[in-house]
Amino acid sequence: MTDTDQTKSWRSATRQVRAGLERTAFGETSEALFMTSGFVYDSAEQAERAFTGEEDHYVYSRYANPTLSIFENRLAAVEGAKYCKGTASGMAAVFAALAAHLKTGDRVVAAKALFGACYHVIHAILPRWGIQAEFVDGTDLDAWAKALSTPAQAVFLETPSNPALSIIDLAAVSALAHKAGALVIVDNAFASTVLQHPLELGADVVTYSATKHIDGQGRSLGGAILSNNEEYLENTVAPFLRQTGPALSPYNAWILLKGLETIELRVQRQCDNALQIAQFLSTQDAIEEVIYPGLESHPQHHLAMKQMSGKGGTIIAFNVKGGKEGAFKIMNGLQIIDISNNLGDVKSLITHPATTTHQKMTPAEQLDAGIRSGTIRLSVGIEDVRDLIDDLSQAST
């Protein structure tokens, strides 16, 4: 349990800055960075007690570290989860969330539209260990119901999806999944903890790539797994992480902790900028289609508004005329927005998923994930939106 009675009464913006804070005897303002791999004991007896768990004492930073604990406690408080474990990257979180729970003979039902590496884990790695995977169109509740009419042990999905921003009804899919006996794991990287709390909508587990909005300034990799299910997180995932070793470095945990302090300000500004840019792109001749959950033209606009705190998110996808060539022309013409496959950053970043983040998928798999040759993904930053619109305008004409 990480929530203290005090942090429970705090509102989200206060938790982001203060939850989990544990000052040392020096009374430092900013959280201390414990850059240490191990810990020492007053006696051999104390070491023994630390290892049996009779005494609360850090033993090794692969297991736990004070800076990492502050990060985990703060993120848990912000997300409204009882338990949180930090990991070295978002993919370490996704992989551990699935692999710790599943065994040979189990079945996973997942949305088709996934981040390339998430898809690879479920489609190519887990089946090698006899874990069956079935993919469905995440926006089609009948398809979920059909796939979940046979028992399953896990459901995995992203909403909004990367990069095509399809929105999945978390409450409805969670209800179907629970009837089939499945644990619902939601990769919440795109919405971030500012816009969407899947556990409140029925999901059992949330994973983050903290590399994205939590750091938000392009400095560090990191990830996290959150849940209210003690048996799952404390007794299944935690030992898996301890023994397999995808530990988050204390230094990276400290950076991510600083990121959490400003996440709401950044994400709100990014969403405001993104809506204006999506509206602008919709008026451009070189652009065939703009996909942004905050636009009424988005097929799941109403669901997105309900599920994502009334905001459309920080990412826009759009299809340009002229396929790959047309997409490359616009990207190469940009002077402010950087070509980069990261997202959630204060700097606006643009990528061509078909040739980068989702390159390993076959053309058919790409289409299933909503990716065409002219699809561009834009992660909107916190720059002055007028400069971003000017940049896109000069590059697309």
| Dihedral angle sign, alpha carbons of residues 222, 135, 315, 332 | positive
Q: For 310, left (φ over 0), alpha (ψ -120 to 50), or beta?
A: left
Nearest approach, Cβ of residue 87 and ligand PLP (Å): 9
**Closest residue (Cβ) to ligand PLP?**
90
What SS3 class is residue 252?
Answer: helix
Nearest approach, Cβ of residue 198 and ligand PLP (Å): 13
CB 141 within 8 A of CB 94: no
| Separation CA 347–CA 325 (nearest Å) | 25
Q: In the complex with ligand PLP, which residue's Cβ is closer, 86 or 250? A: 86
| Separation CA 203–CA 190 (nearest Å) | 16
Nearest approach, Cβ of residue 214 and ligand PLP (Å): 10
Q: In the complex with ligand PLP, which residue's Cβ is closer, 162 or 270? A: 162
Q: In the complex with ligand PLP, which residue's Cβ is closer, 298 or 358? A: 358
Closest to 199 measured CA to CA, from 111, 313, 69, 78: 78
Rounding to the nearest 10 degrees, give the CA dihedral for residues 66, 69, 71, 72.
170
- CA triplet 157, 161, 165: central angle to 5 degrees? 145
Nearest approach, Cβ of residue 203 and ligand PLP (Å): 15
Nearest approach, Cβ of residue 211 and ligand PLP (Å): 4
Q: In the complex with ligand PLP, which residue's Cβ is closer, 267 or 395? A: 267
Nearest approach, Cβ of residue 235 and ligand PLP (Å): 25
Q: In the complex with ligand PLP, which residue's Cβ is closer, 46 or 217? A: 217
Nearest approach, Cβ of residue 116 and ligand PLP (Å): 9
- Give the count of alpha carbons within 13 A of 303, CB side only: 17
- Strand segments, DSSP code E, in the chain are 83-87, 107-111, 132-136, 154-158, 183-187, 205-209, 223-227, 287-291, 315-320, 338-339, 349-351, 375-379
Q: In the complex with ligand PLP, which residue's Cβ is closer, 114 or 131? A: 114
Residues that bind ligand PLP (CB under 6 A): 89-91, 94, 115, 117-118, 158, 162, 187, 189-190, 209, 211-212, 221, 223
Q: In the complex with ligand PLP, which residue's Cβ is closer, 85 or 212? A: 212
